[in-house]
Amino acid sequence: MKGVIACAAYGNGRRLADLPFEADGVPVPSGAEFIWIGLHEPEPAALATLQRQFDLHPLAVEDAERAHQRPKVDTYGDSLFVVLRTVRLVGGAPEYGETHIFVGKGYVISVRHGASSSYADVRSRLERNPRMLKQGEAAVLHAIVDFVTDNFFPVIDGIQAELIDIETHVLDETLDRPTIERLYHLRRQLLGMRGTVLPLLEVSNRLNRLESPLMLPEIRPYFADVHDHVQRVAEAITGLREGASAAFEAEILLANARQNDVVRQLAAWAAILAVPTAIAGIYGMNFDVMPELRWVYGYPVVLGGIVAVCGFLYWRFRRSGWL
């Protein structure tokens, strides 16, 4: 059936058999403790089949069909419905998807939507750890949540590397328009990641404290560890947002400072040039009777005065740091 990626039975900490996904459901072999079904954007008929076989709650099935849900943990009797937001780098930019997980006695159903890495590695890694796999359905839930959380770190590392590269040039040179636009997009990306991680923090905290027959005492420390990982992700995002804001504000302050330096230089040169302009304007008024007009030393005296005054002003402006 379309959208079915993997379907296998597990028991005593090992994989027993691959199972076919048939129109009337999944045949469960004897000796199987639970089955794990992996779906990727399945057709409604597949979810309807699983709903009938495992008595999935209609509201949870409706959420899994529509996607675009907020991360959450819903309990329906002894079964759980967990919604996670996933992230992965696509073309250097983070893209988001969703994973919906149905967990109950005897089954785990994971439904992926949008940008989400395959859980084949999660499955194979868990199958190589029989001691963990013996913890049953909760072990699969933990493995998926842990994998989703760990996928945030490469995205964070990529953003951090770009931010460090931008920060090293903030104090050295004026940032060009493409770099400023990139800094703005980094802030937007961090804002989007924050909106994804904060609900995930609530989910991990809820799973860490959840009272359910599925949560064996041996598995609880692992969910506490996942909660610590999510907190690290949230703290890293907060730190990067503060770093991006600081770089953005530093660029604005430095741009203002550079603009002020240019304004001071222009003002200083304008003051210096005002001296010969004023004197030339006075002697250019075309009056017949003016002092010094016919004085033999008038021109060198006026020219020397202009040079002296301009030189004095230049010295004063240089001393004050305006030039």
Q: Which residue has the tokens 């010094």?
A: 292
> β-strand 34-40 against 107-114: which pairing, if any?
parallel
Contacts of 170 (CB under 8 A, 6+ apart): 247, 250, 251, 254
The rounded Cα 138 to chain-centroid distance in angstroms is 29
Three-state secondary-structure class, residue 136: coil
Is it true that domain 255-320 has CATH number 1.20.58.340?
yes
Residue 306: CB atoms within 10 A of its CB come to 16
Supply the pLDDT for residue 171: 62
Nearest CA to 275 out of 231, 244, 316, 227 is that of: 316
Question: CA-based angle 256:257:261, to the nearest 5?
Answer: 115
HSE-CB of 189 using CA atoms within 13 angstroms? 25
Maximum distance among all Cα pairs of the chain, rounded to whole angstroms: 124
> Which tokens sit at 67?
């996607």
CA distance 197 to 298: 81
Supply the pLDDT for residue 82: 92
Supply the pLDDT for residue 140: 92
Residue 181: CB atoms within 10 A of its CB come to 11
CA distance 83 to 65: 12
> What single-letter DSSP state applies at residue 27?
P
CA distance 178 to 8: 50
- Amino acid type, 1: M
Domain ranges within the chain, ordered by starting residue? 1-129, 255-320
Query: Which helix (H) or strand (E) segment is 25 a member of?
Result: none
The rounded Cα 42 to chain-centroid distance in angstroms is 28
The rounded Cα 43 to chain-centroid distance in angstroms is 31
Nearest CA to 55 out of 81, 36, 33 is that of: 81
At 77-136, the pLDDT tens digits run 888 999 998 887 777 677 888 899 999 999 999 998 876 777 888 888 988 998 988 888
DSSP H stretches of helix in 55-129: 58-66, 120-127
CA distance 323 to 78: 77
HSE-CB of 243 using CA atoms within 13 angstroms? 19
> Which tokens sit at 96?
């988001």
> β-strand 14-18 against 93-104: which pairing, if any?
unpaired
Contacts of 145 (CB under 8 A, 6+ apart): 82, 84, 203, 204, 207, 223, 226
Query: Which regions in the chain score pLDDT beneath 50?
Result: none
- 266-271's contacts with Cβ under 8 Å and 24+ in sequence apart are 267/322, 268/313, 268/317, 268/322, 268/323, 269/323, 271/313, 271/317
pTM, two decimals, is: 0.75
The answer for 114, left when phi > 0, alpha when psi is -120 to 50, beta otherwise, is left
Is it true that domain 1-129 has CATH number 3.30.70.2190?
no
